[in-house]
């Protein structure tokens, strides 16, 4: 029999692969187990329509941590990020004139700051001036909060002061901020994205398009408190040191996962696909390996789970092994998937009424967000269990920067769509009955702005939240493995008391987006979990949080009963002695 692995990683998404790469780099013998035939999780590239390759779920990158790229030397393993140039927001015919603005019916911001300011000046001189100040402020806020992404959250109930030391630097940095910036940071933590932007701008399409970043992956509207933080979360992305810059990985987002997998293999990690895990094995309160659905059992000193907390603790851990309070905390995690994805194979480019023909405007993001009322009405539909009749969409045509994704002269269009609630109203009959209607709604909405879209589609893939759950293991179709709401971040991710990547089961670690700092193609959870495990292994500290009584209620009950019996016996003996 072979010696046990040092670590088994459940799930071959980009975070699981990142953990595996760091562990293998440290000399550990590592095995990654992925249930699908392809690596990447939600960061995956697949040929859905013959000849057309899609970034099936995740489709752009900005949050991937520079230290992960550097430590794993990902460019050497094939990673190449191609920049997206700005955001084009097409508007309904006559929208500019109705707002008293001369010129065409669109808002177009590009990476060239001067051109963007000139475009904004067409809409509002005040907004053009405010935009520069707003950009500088958000970069400062992003630089202030960015260190949080590399901090392992301390346990607020812990007595050891050492885990709190990294926060001291953040606290000092906050103290050095001017008072006005401190106030802005508090606003970002508490306000809605729309209300925050209302303080800066008056142009409605600009506010709607910018506020959209605050609702990505959340079941909230642009006027829901707390969405301003999600706005900031997406502002923390960078490419080559430039904040708020987004790009497309060459070969699709699967190119990121394959580069990380290549790095992991280079360090000696083993990776198996089509190897679904059925159960996490444990003995004496310690993880000892996994059992596959095939019946094969594989031993390891440590087990890392990159799947979400619900699937880890409610599906893979044996029932009765965890304290009821902990299980209740896991059940309370909010997922509430609210987005879908429609991938289109087309034989020509969409022709937008407001700016006809091919051009630079198609090389960046195309945001279907013509106004704040449009965005709020899209949310209103979702609140009552319906997918949005006129949804917000973020569209990208990756073949304009990476022609290898489609046959010559043809293109793929990636459409991120919100809102698509996981729980549909009963009268709709569920997502299996509504999938094609949802896809038709997306195409119809695009056609309001680019009428030729119906004629150029030669194939499509429609992914609902239910499909994201079934295919990629994302509970309720939440793309972040749990909403990025303030009560589910930092100390409380995935649940209060267990934010340090440890779990109640010794040597079972969480390393996916369910852990701090959350979702997006980031790699930070996988990196931090690996570093924590390596540190614990080197120093001899237990890879577990809390006490053993938190783990096994039966053992805790027996221990408590023995203690109570001993106390009663001691009391009886003492009373008997007094009576004598």
**pLDDT at residue number 146:** 84
**Mean pLDDT, range 211-226, rounded to an integer:** 92
**Mean pLDDT, range 455-466, rounded to an integer:** 98
- The answer on pLDDT for 242 being more than 90 is no
**pLDDT at residue number 543:** 57
DSSP string, 497-531: T--SSB-SSBTEEE-STTSTT-SSS--HHHHHHHH
* 160 or 387, higher pLDDT: 387
**Mean pLDDT, range 243-260, rounded to an integer:** 89
Q: Determine what percent of the chain is predicted with pLDDT higher than 90.
A: 77
**Mean pLDDT, range 425-437, rounded to an integer:** 97
By the 8 A CB rule, do 36 and 254 touch? Answer: no
**pLDDT at residue number 59:** 93
**Mean pLDDT, range 92-96, rounded to an integer:** 95
First vs last C-alpha separation in the chain = 65
Per-residue model confidence as pLDDT tens digits over 226-238: 999 888 877 776 5
**Mean pLDDT, range 350-369, rounded to an integer:** 96
- 547 band by pLDDT with thresholds 50, 70 and 90: very low
**Mean pLDDT, range 396-422, rounded to an integer:** 97
- 147 band by pLDDT with thresholds 50, 70 and 90: confident
DSSP string, 305-320: E-S-HHIIIIIISPTT
**pLDDT at residue number 434:** 98
Per-residue model confidence as pLDDT tens digits over 24-44: 999 999 999 999 999 999 999
**pLDDT at residue number 30:** 98
Whole-model pTM: value is 0.90
Q: How many Å is the Cα radius of gyration of the chain? A: 25
**Mean pLDDT, range 156-180, rounded to an integer:** 85
- Calpha distance 88→90 (Å, rounded): 6
CATH code: domain 5-82+250-334+479-539 is 3.50.50.60
- Give, as one character, the DSSP assignment of residue 6: E
By the 8 A CB rule, do 92 and 277 touch? Answer: no
- The answer on pLDDT for 466 being more than 60 is yes
**pLDDT at residue number 574:** 35
**pLDDT at residue number 575:** 33
- The answer on pLDDT for 552 being more than 50 is no
**pLDDT at residue number 160:** 81
- Calpha distance 61→358 (Å, rounded): 24
Any idea where the domains of the chain sit in the sequence? Answer: 5-82+250-334+479-539, 336-472, 551-579
- 321 band by pLDDT with thresholds 50, 70 and 90: very high
191 bridge partner residues: none
Which of 364, 438, 373, 348 lies closest to 221 in space, CA to CA? 373
**Mean pLDDT, range 304-325, rounded to an integer:** 96
- 162 band by pLDDT with thresholds 50, 70 and 90: confident
Query: Within the chain, what is the greatest distance between any pair of CA atoms?
Result: 104
**pLDDT at residue number 244:** 59
- Tell the burial category of 241 from Cβ atoms under 10 Å away from its Cβ (0-12, 13-18, 19+): exposed
Per-residue model confidence as pLDDT tens digits over 269-289: 999 999 999 999 999 999 999
Q: Phi and psi for 409 in degrees, rounded to 5? A: 80, -5
- 560 band by pLDDT with thresholds 50, 70 and 90: very low
**pLDDT at residue number 576:** 37
- The answer on pLDDT for 151 being more than 50 is yes
- The answer on pLDDT for 558 being more than 70 is no
- 485 band by pLDDT with thresholds 50, 70 and 90: confident
**Mean pLDDT, range 197-221, rounded to an integer:** 94
- Give, as one character, the DSSP assignment of residue 355: B
- The answer on pLDDT for 550 being more than 50 is no
**pLDDT at residue number 238:** 59
- The answer on pLDDT for 314 being more than 50 is yes
Written in H, E and C, the secondary structure of 107-160 is EEECCCHHHHHHHHHHHCHHHHHHHHHHHHHHHHHHHHHHHHHHCCCCCCCCCC
- 544 band by pLDDT with thresholds 50, 70 and 90: low
Per-residue model confidence as pLDDT tens digits over 487-503: 898 999 999 999 999 99
User: Average pLDDT over the chain, rounded to whole?
Assistant: 90
Q: What angle, rounded to 10 degrees, do the helices at 254-266 and 14-25 form? A: 20
* 572 or 496, higher pLDDT: 496
Which of 140, 281, 301, 225 lies closest to 485 in space, CA to CA? 225
**pLDDT at residue number 240:** 55
**Mean pLDDT, range 557-575, rounded to an integer:** 39
* 72 or 571, higher pLDDT: 72
Q: Determine what percent of the chain is predicted with pLDDT higher than 70.
A: 91
């Amino acid at each position: 029999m072979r010696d046990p692995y040092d670590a088994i990683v459940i799930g071959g998404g980009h975070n699981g692969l990142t953990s595996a790469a760091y562990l293998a780099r440290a000399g550990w013998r590592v095995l990654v187990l992925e249930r699908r035939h392809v690596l990447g999780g939600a960061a995956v590239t697949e040929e859905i329509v013959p000849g057309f390759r899609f970034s099936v779920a995740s489709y752009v990158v900005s949050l991937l941590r520079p230290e992960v790229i550097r430590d794993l030397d990902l460019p050497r393993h094939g990673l190449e990020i191609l920049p997206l140039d700005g955001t084009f927001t097409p508007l309904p015919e006559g929208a500019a004139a109705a707002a008293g603005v001369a010129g065409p019916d669109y808002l177009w911001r590009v990476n060239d700051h001067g051109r963007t300011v000139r475009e904004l000046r067409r809409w509002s001189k005040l907004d053009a001036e405010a935009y520069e100040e707003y950009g500088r402020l958000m970069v400062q806020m992003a630089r202030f909060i960015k260190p949080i992404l590399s901090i392992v959250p301390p346990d607020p109930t812990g007595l050891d002061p050492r885990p709190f030391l990294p926060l001291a630097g953040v606290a000092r940095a906050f103290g050095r901020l001017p008072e006005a910036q401190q106030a802005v940071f508090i606003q970002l933590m508490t306000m809605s994205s729309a209300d925050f932007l209302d303080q800066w701008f008056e142009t409605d399409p600009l506010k709607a398009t910018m506020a959209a970043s605050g609702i990505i992956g959340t079941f909230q509207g642009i006027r829901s408190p707390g969405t301003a933080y999600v706005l900031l979360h997406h502002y923390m992305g960078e490419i080559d040191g430039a904040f708020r810059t987004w790009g497309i990985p060459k070969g699709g987002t699967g190119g990121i996962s394959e580069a990380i997998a290549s790095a992991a293999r280079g360090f000696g990690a083993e990776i198996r696909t089509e190897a679904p895990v059925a159960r996490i094995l444990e003995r004496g309160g310690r993880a000892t390996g996994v059992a596959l659905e095939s019946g094969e059992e594989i031993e390891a000193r440590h087990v890392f789970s990159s799947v979400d907390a619900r699937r880890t603790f409610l599906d893979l851990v044996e029932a009765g092994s965890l304290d009821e309070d902990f299980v209740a905390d896991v059940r309370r995690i909010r997922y509430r998937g609210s987005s879908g994805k429609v991938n289109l194979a087309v034989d020509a480019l969409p022709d937008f009424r407001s700016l006809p023909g091919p051009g630079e405007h198609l090389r960046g993001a195309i945001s279907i967000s013509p106004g704040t009322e449009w965005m709020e009405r899209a949310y209103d539909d979702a609140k009552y269990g319906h997918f949005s009749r006129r949804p917000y969409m973020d569209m990208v045509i990756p073949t304009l920067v990476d022609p290898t994704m489609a046959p010559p002269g043809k293109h793929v269009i990636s459409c991120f769509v919100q809102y698509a609630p996981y729980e549909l109203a009963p009268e709709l009959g569920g997502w299996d009955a509504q999938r094609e209607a949802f896809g038709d709604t997306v195409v119809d909405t695009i056609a309001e702005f680019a009428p030729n879209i119906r004629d150029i589609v030669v194939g499509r893939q429609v992914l609902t939240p239910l499909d994201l759950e079934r295919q990629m293991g994302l509970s309720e179709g939440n793309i972040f493995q749990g909403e990025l709401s303030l009560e589910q971040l930092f100390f409380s991710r995935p649940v209060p008391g267990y934010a340090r990547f440890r779990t109640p089961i010794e040597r079972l670690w969480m390393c996916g987006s369910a852990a701090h700092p959350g979702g997006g193609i980031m790699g930070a959870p996988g990196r931090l979990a690996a570093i924590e495990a390596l540190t614990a292994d080197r120093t001899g500290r237990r890879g577990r949080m809390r006490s053993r009584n938190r783990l096994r209620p039966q053992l805790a009950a027996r221990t408590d009963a023995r203690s109570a019996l001993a106390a009663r016996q001691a009391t009886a003996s003492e009373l008997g002695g007094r009576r004598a």
